[in-house]
Amino acid sequence: GLKEISDGKIRELTGGVLFPVTFTCITQRPMKGEIMVGSVEKILKHGVFLKSGPMENIFMSAKSMSDYKYMAGENPMFMKDYSKLEKYTIVRFKVMGFCWMEADRQFRLLATMAGDFLGPL
């Protein structure tokens, strides 16, 4: 929304008036059910954190990654047959839910790979 309109300043050459304006707006808002692409940023036993564009708090629970098993170690990962999720893996996922965190000034998303054509690319 509109926060402030400062005093106008007359431009010498044109005579036009310039009003500095301060405002806030949402430039990218996720939708429930939206298909997105992101990269794996952090791997935990209970799931992974993804990043997609400006959105950094995207959590995908291990429960939503059917048949993937957590593999601990120096470079933890989730594995399934010949497929693996490790740091920087590009993943196509679906948004299950989201909320706006005012303190962080960003969205937090809950994601899943359950569905056709979803998973590592």
Q: Which tokens belong to 16?
A: 């036009």
Residue 109 vs residues 8, 12, 55, 73, 99: alpha-carbon distances, Å: 41, 49, 8, 27, 7
The pLDDT, as a whole number, for residue 105 is 81
Mean pLDDT of the chain: 92
Q: Which CATH number fits domain 30-120: 1.10.10.10, 2.40.50.140, 3.40.920.10, 2.60.120.10?
A: 2.40.50.140
Mean pLDDT over 12-22 rounds to 92
pTM recorded for the entire structure? 0.75
